[in-house]
Amino acid sequence: MDDLRFGSTIRSVRIRKGLTQEDLSKLAGVSRGTVSRIERGHLDEVSLGSIRAVAKALDVRVDLVPRWRGGDLDRLLNSRHSALHEQVARSFTERPDWLAEPEVSFAIYAERGVIDILAWHAKRQMLLVIELKTDIVDVNELLGTLDRKRRLAWQVALERGWDVRERTSASAWVIVAESHTNRRRIQAHGAMLRAALPVDGRSINGWLQDPSRPVGALSFWPDARPMSTSGGRAPVRRVRSVARPRS
């Protein structure tokens, strides 16, 4: 949708609700001039926060859809996710007490989805749902989806033939790819995330050694970039030879 059509949509919904521009500005907490600029399609003159506030006041959902070189963006994001997935899955091979399965899909009644990594500690009877995020977009959706997967984890494990008990406790670990943008977004929702996922990266390693109680954790993964085509070897550096002084 282009800027003019977006503005027309906001204006049409406002009129349908019987609101004036002044009414809408008060509901959204912005100036009447801001509402006017949005309705005229002058979005470059308005902050994204103001656009979202005006849309929310009208019960209009605004989604950002970045596009880059056709399908190249999808391939780029998928490669980053695959790299993060590979690195985390590989780390569990060094933990013999854990059984980890990648990309575990489920369909329980009307609830469907995919758990990035489902891990099982038989000695402690502890399930662990791991959610991998290369980009933090919607924190509310992240926590809602994670809670659903955590609630269904014991049934998913039973379907895989794991020796879990009914209503076995499940922990959750959100692993986020390291980036300035992700850190900024998580900081902006710090209170909400700390309440739901209080365990940090410094504590999760100790918990993995002895998962005696259910936890919710969030940590950053330092390097989620795809492996280079050079096979991980250091690049060859060209060294200039030093001219010897003449005798």
Q: What is the DSSP letter of 178?
A: -
Strand partners, 47: none
CB 49 within 8 A of CB 99: no
For the chain, where are the alpha helices, taking DSSP H only?
3-16, 21-28, 32-39, 48-57, 72-92, 139-159, 180-188, 190-196, 201-209
What does the pLDDT read at residue 168?
A: 87
Kindly state the helix (H) or strand (E) to which residue 130 belongs, with its residue range: strand 126-133
What does the pLDDT read at residue 201?
A: 87
Sequence-separated contacts (24+) of 203-208 with Cβ below 8 Å: 204/173, 208/95, 208/98
- What is the DSSP secondary-structure string of 138-161? -HHHHHHHHHHHHHHHHHHHHHTT
Q: Which domains does the chain have, with CATH numbers?
A: 3-57 (1.10.260.40), 72-221 (3.40.1350)
CB 80 within 8 A of CB 221: no
Quote the tokens at residue 107: 């369909």
| 3-class state of residue 42 by DSSP | coil
Q: What is the pLDDT along the chain (247 residues), one digit of tens a residue?
A: 789 999 999 999 999 999 999 999 999 999 999 999 999 999 999 999 999 999 999 999 888 877 665 555 555 567 888 889 899 999 999 999 999 999 999 999 888 899 999 999 999 999 999 999 988 888 888 999 999 999 999 999 999 999 998 888 899 999 999 989 899 999 999 999 999 999 998 899 999 999 999 999 999 998 656 544 333 333 333 334 344 445 4
What does the pLDDT read at residue 239?
A: 37
Quote the tokens at residue 15: 């009129």
Please provide the size of the chain in residues.
247
